[in-house]
Every structure is written in structure tokens, then in C-alpha cells.
């Protein structure tokens, strides 16, 4: 009798445990796995890590709004740019915001552009070859000069092969090299480059006086679209049409412009194409 009671108790306990596991599995299966977006921790004002370690920036605000409207949970993590790309390529993350290069077409599919960067030459106004530098209007024209670029920039790796490049670990270190006159130029997007430099000067970073010596050319070397690149084998690759439709809606109803002004208002005060910008 005691054996029967013990056997019954074990069976009863086992059934309860099995029911619990099954119920937990159903709940977990009913939940959406968040889209894992991994990006650069040092690309202000697009995407960056705040002092308390949280991701922020124009892309962050825009991505959160698009995914909210799609009713898809979003998880954002920021790392040094090269590491972030590695994580996404290896399948740890689903996507990243950058430009679609020839190499990246093997692994990724791109959405419509979140932003189109007008790439300009940023240099110091006391550079002895300032007139030559400011006259450059193509990538080919950069050959005589020493250019700084960040490690992990896939677009630069493909298009700057024939240039004299000094590779810096981060955007901040690259900007420091330009501010200190260690290179002739840094090729940056017109609006984001100005917005970031103005913010650093206003925040009185220790090299702010050197940043004031930087000027930017009126010539656009190339227009680069920055898109959300989703890995082809991600379960979320199917959201691209919905993502594009919502992004277009946000641009049409003015939501996009409000977000843009939040981060680029200082840069927008400068008349586009009127004159070289001195900080």
C-alpha cells in the first residue's frame, strides 16, 4: 500500500511538473522575439551610447517609432562599430543601420533609406593646402591628401582603396586627429558632421578650441543612403515592406522632420551650399 501511495504521489507530481513546462512553453511561443538591432556606440547624433550606457540618437528615435507602429518588439544594443557588425553577421543580431556595400549584399537586404548623407570634406582652415582641399569635388581628388577614416567603415574600405588613409578606432578618435592637424581631411556627412562638432564645442570638450578651426567644403563628393540592413536568414527579413511603408508615412506626416530637427537644429541654421562653414 505504501508503495502504491508513493507511486501515485510521484505520478501526480510528474504530471503537475509536465503541465507547468507545457504551459510555460505555450506562453513563450506566443511571445514575439524582439528584433535585435546592433549598432555603433560612437556615431553621434545618429546612434551613440549615453553616459549611463544607453543607446540614443536620431536613428534610435526613428527605429523605436517604426517598430512600435509595426507592433514588433525592438532590442537595441550598441558596441564599437566593427564588433557590432560582426555580431550581426554572425547571427547574434538581426540588423544594423548603415550603407549597403557590394560585400554586404551577400548577407543583407536593405530597407528604404533612413537618411541620405551628403559627404563633404572637413579640414582645418590653417592647413597649408587649404585652397586645394576645399576645391576637391570627387573621391579621386582626395588622392594627394592624408585622410582619416574609422575602422569598420565598409563603404570607405570599398571606395577609398587608392587613398592615403589613416585608420582610427572610433569616430571620436578620428575627429581628434583632424582637430589636432594630424591628417588633412575627414570625409563626413554634411549635417551630422556639423551637428556633432557644434555640440562638442557647446559642451566645451577639452579640444573645443581646436574644433573651431575646422571648416567644411561646399562640394558634395557623393550621396550615401543609410538603410536598415536585415540579415537574409533572419526571421524578420519579411518585415521590410511594412518597415518601408511606415517610414514613408513618417516622412509624409512630419514625424520624421520633428525627430530630425531634435538632433540637427544647429546644423540646419547654416544655409546649404552658400559658403564654406567655419565653426
C-beta contacts of 71-75 below 8 A and 24+ residues apart? 72/32, 72/34, 72/35, 72/236, 72/239, 73/32, 73/33, 73/34, 73/35, 74/34, 74/35, 74/37, 75/34, 75/35, 75/36, 75/37
pTM: 0.79
pLDDT for residue 18: 38
What pLDDT sits at residue 265?
84
> Which domains, and CATH codes, for the chain?
35-116+224-268 (3.40.190.10), 118-223 (3.40.190.10)
The reported pLDDT for the residue numbered 267 is 72
Q: Is 206 exposed, middle or buried (0-12, 13-18, 19+ CB in 10 A)?
A: exposed
Burial of 160 per CB tally in 10 Å (0-12, 13-18, 19+): middle
User: Which portions of the chain are predicted below pLDDT 50?
Assistant: 1-3, 5-30, 273-275
Amino acid at each position: 500500500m505504501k508503495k502504491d501511495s508513493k507511486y501515485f504521489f510521484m505520478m501526480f507530481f510528474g504530471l503537475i511538473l509536465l503541465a507547468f513546462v507545457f504551459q510555460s512553453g505555450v506562453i513563450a511561443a506566443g511571445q514575439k522575439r524582439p528584433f535585435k538591432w546592433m549598432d555603433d556606440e560612437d556615431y553621434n547624433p545618429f546612434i551613440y551610447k549615453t553616459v549611463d550606457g544607453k543607446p540614443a540618437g536620431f536613428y534610435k528615435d526613428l527605429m523605436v517609432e517604426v517598430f512600435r507602429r509595426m507592433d514588433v518588439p525592438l532590442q537595441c544594443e550598441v558596441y564599437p562599430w566593427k564588433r557590432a557588425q560582426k555580431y550581426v553577421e554572425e547571427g547574434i543580431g538581426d540588423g544594423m543601420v548603415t550603407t549597403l556595400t557590394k560585400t554586404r549584399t551577400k548577407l543583407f537586404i536593405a530597407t528604404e533609406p533612413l537618411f541620405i548623407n551628403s559627404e563633404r570634406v572637413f579640414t582645418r582652415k590653417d592647413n597649408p593646402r587649404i585652397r586645394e582641399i576645399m576645391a576637391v569635388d570627387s573621391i579621386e581628388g582626395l588622392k594627394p591628401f592624408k585622410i582619416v577614416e574609422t575602422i569598420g567603415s565598409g563603404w570607405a574600405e570599398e571606395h577609398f582603396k587608392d587613398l592615403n588613409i589613416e585608420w582610427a578606432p572610433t569616430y571620436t578618435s578620428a575627429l581628434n586627429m583632424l582637430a589636432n592637424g594630424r591628417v588633412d581631411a575627414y570625409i563626413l556627412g554634411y549635417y551630422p558632421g556639423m551637428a556633432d562638432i557644434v555640440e562638442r564645442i557647446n559642451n566645451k570638450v577639452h579640444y573645443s578650441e581646436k574644433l573651431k578651426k575646422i571648416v567644411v567644403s561646399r562640394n558634395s563628393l557623393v550621396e550615401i543612403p543609410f538603410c536598415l540592413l536585415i540579415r537574409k536568414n533572419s526571421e524578420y527579413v519579411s518585415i521590410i515592406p511594412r518597415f518601408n511603408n511606415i517610414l514613408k508615412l513618417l516622412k509624409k506626416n512630419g514625424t520624421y522632420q520633428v525627430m530630425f530637427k531634435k538632433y540637427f537644429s544647429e546644423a540646419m541654421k547654416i544655409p546649404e551650399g552658400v559658403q564654406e562653414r567655419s565653426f
